[in-house]
Each structure stands twice: as C-alpha cells, then as structure tokens.
C-alpha cells in the first residue's frame, strides 16, 4: 500500500513540474510540447513552453500569434479570464493592423471564438469597453 501511495504521489508531483525546454527545439516542437503538457493538465509546463516560443521565436509575427493563441486557450481552461482576454484581444488587434493575407487568418477566427467563450460577467467594465 505504501509503494502504491509513493508511486501515485510521484506521478502527481511530476504533473506540476517545470518544463524541460530543449535548447535546440523549434517553435513547432515547443508548441507541441505545450499541447502535450496541456493534455495532462500540466498547465505550468505548458505555459513555460509557450512563453519559450515567444521568447525565442516571437519576432516572427505568425509564430508569436500561434503561441499567444495557445496561451489564451490555456488561460481559458484555467478560468483565468483576464489573461485569456488579453491574449485573444491582442491577436484580434494584430490582425486589424496587419496586411491582408500576411498572417494565417484562422487565428483571428480562433481568437474571436476564444473571446466569445469568456463567460459574461467575468471581465471588468474597462476590459469590455476596449
């Protein structure tokens, strides 16, 4: 019984561990690692992978948008509606200022859908006015 408890405790501890971010990982690989972490509800690691994408590859607008979308989705799952709103709103704003056809248009629609998934009453009046 003690062994089972120890194994279970170790498995749970590993679910909230920090991400091990490979030095040579591409943005696509880091996004996939983040998505894999989200699938097992390791939100801390997922956020770290997405933030690594932004830090390493964020100068590419399309990559930045993809990572910000993933962060918004993560925050929505965590019910951190303020941060989700910030991510999705930023993406929509980037598209409003971008040249048509320059960015993958699917992320604009996904960000708008993300915004619509934030429950009413979960944002301040100031945020809604933006």
pLDDT of residue 17: 61
- pTM for the model: 0.80
User: Which tens digits make up the pLDDT trace of 31-76?
Assistant: 999 999 999 999 999 999 999 999 999 999 999 999 999 999 999 9
Please, what's the b/e burial string for 83-101 (b: 16 or more CB within 10 A of its CB; e: otherwise)? ebbbbbbbbeebbeeeeee
Structure confidence by residue, pLDDT tens digits, 103-129: 888 999 999 999 999 998 877 544 554
């Amino acid at each position: 019984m003690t062994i089972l408890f120890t194994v279970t405790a170790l498995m749970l501890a590993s679910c909230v561990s920090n991400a091990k971010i490979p030095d040579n990982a591409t943005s696509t690989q880091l996004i996939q690692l983040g998505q894999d972490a989200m699938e097992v509800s390791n939100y801390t690691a997922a956020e770290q992978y997405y933030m690594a994408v932004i830090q390493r590859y964020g100068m590419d607008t399309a990559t930045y948008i993809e990572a910000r979308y993933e962060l918004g989705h993560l925050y929505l799952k965590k019910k951190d509606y303020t941060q989700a709103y910030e991510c999705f709103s930023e993406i929509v704003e980037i598209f409003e200022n971008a040249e048509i056809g320059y960015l993958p248009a699917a992320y604009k629609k996904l960000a708008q859908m993300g915004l619509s998934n934030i429950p009413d009453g979960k944002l301040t009046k100031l945020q809604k006015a933006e």
